[in-house]
Amino acid sequence: MIVRVLAAALGACTTTSAIAQNYPAKPIRIIAAQSAGGVTDALARTFAQKFNEAWKQPVVVENRAGAGGAIGTEVVVRAAPDGYTLLLSSAGPIINQSLYPALGYDPLKTLVPITFVAASPLVLVTHPSVPAKSVAELIALAKARPGKLTYGSGGSGSPPHLTAELFKTAARVDITHIPFKGSAPSVLALVGGQIDLSFSTVVITLPQVQASRLRALAVTSPQRSKALPWLPTMIEAGMPGFESQQWFGLFGPAGLPPEIVAQLNLEATRIVSSPEMRERLATDGAEPGTLTQREFGAFLQADAVRWARVVKQSGAKAE
């Protein structure tokens, strides 16, 4: 009996090792947990191109937007742990475990962190028709019109959603959430005057700000953004301790063989560290990730605790 058990275990190890050595041997798909046109989508397509160039295997990007990344995340959580289904996501899945009590899975346990890709501040922007030209003026306006101002996000549980909820709690204002299926649709609605304000990424908002279709008030990072050096931080604008950055990471399903994780991490880190990628991220107002895989895992644990606190304090709900 013992001999059979040992033989089976050895066979499993040999099979796993063989799979890892031959990886990748077929097309890979990267699930982008956001709609087309957003930062997640753009990063996923960059990785798809670079993985294809390195491994000579087709790499397809599938956009699975909705529920703050929960829909796309579940596709990967349920996938075979063989390295052929990956997830490119922001913090949405980590937030979701606090926002959706019946989520059905714990992303910290059902996902394997592969690479910390990048981090970017969010920009507080308003439609030009909103009569506020500073954070202080916006807070005063919101207090004068409780519940009347609307803000958009890329969906319930997304970093822009929770950042706005953090703003509501810190500023003690009442503004109404209008969720969209992705950051790009949210910003388009803001440009069209369908909503009043939002916290969104630099890459999506900057062209609209430069064209005077949106008004930027502040960035959410501790330091000013290199892409918008003239714009104050939320802290400089009178909100002590206010900090929120949207990060992006590459994940696989739990049970992914360590050899495949290591191979993906090595190639993804090479891509993130390349001068081409650094230049592109800088243009988008983002900084390349510098955390190791182990550090990224610890970062996720801490981030989950931080956002759980925001959800509890703000009373944010999935909509």
Q: How many residues does the chain have?
A: 319
pLDDT tens profile 219-254: 999 999 988 999 999 999 999 999 998 899 999 999
* 16 pLDDT more than 60: no
Q: Is residue 241 part of a domain?
A: no
How far is residue 192's CA from residue 184's CA, in Å, rounded to a whole number? 12
Which letter, b or e, does each residue of 65-88 get, where b requires 16 or more Cβ atoms within 10 Å of its Cβ? bbbbbbbbbbbbbebebbbbbbbb
* 201 pLDDT more than 90: no
In this prediction the pTM is 0.81
Both 33 and 98 in one domain: the answer is yes
pLDDT of residue 89: 92
Both 35 and 58 in one domain: the answer is yes
Q: Is 61 left (phi over 0), alpha (psi -120 to 50) or beta?
A: beta
Domain that includes residue 83, residue range: 26-119+246-314
Q: Is residue 282 part of a domain?
A: yes
Q: Is residue 225 part of a domain?
A: no
Both 100 and 52 in one domain: the answer is yes
Both 42 and 112 in one domain: the answer is yes
Query: Mean pLDDT throughout 151-170?
Result: 89
Q: Is residue 11 part of a domain?
A: no
Q: Is 185 left (phi over 0), alpha (psi -120 to 50) or beta?
A: alpha
Q: Yes or no: say if 209 and 112 are a contact pair by the CB < 8 Å rule.
A: no
∠ Cα 310 181 132 (to 5°): 60
* 133 pLDDT more than 80: yes
Q: Is residue 53 part of a domain?
A: yes
pLDDT of residue 200: 92
Structural domains in the chain (count):
2
Boundary (domain end) residue, out of 171, 201, 219: 219
User: Which pLDDT band holds residue 33 (cuts at 50, 70, 90)?
Assistant: confident
pLDDT of residue 17: 54
Both 100 and 51 in one domain: the answer is yes
Q: Is the dihedral of CA 82, 85, 89, 93 positive or negative?
A: negative
Q: Is residue 228 part of a domain?
A: no
User: Which pLDDT band holds residue 18 (cuts at 50, 70, 90)?
Assistant: low
Q: Is residue 170 part of a domain?
A: yes
Both 63 and 38 in one domain: the answer is yes
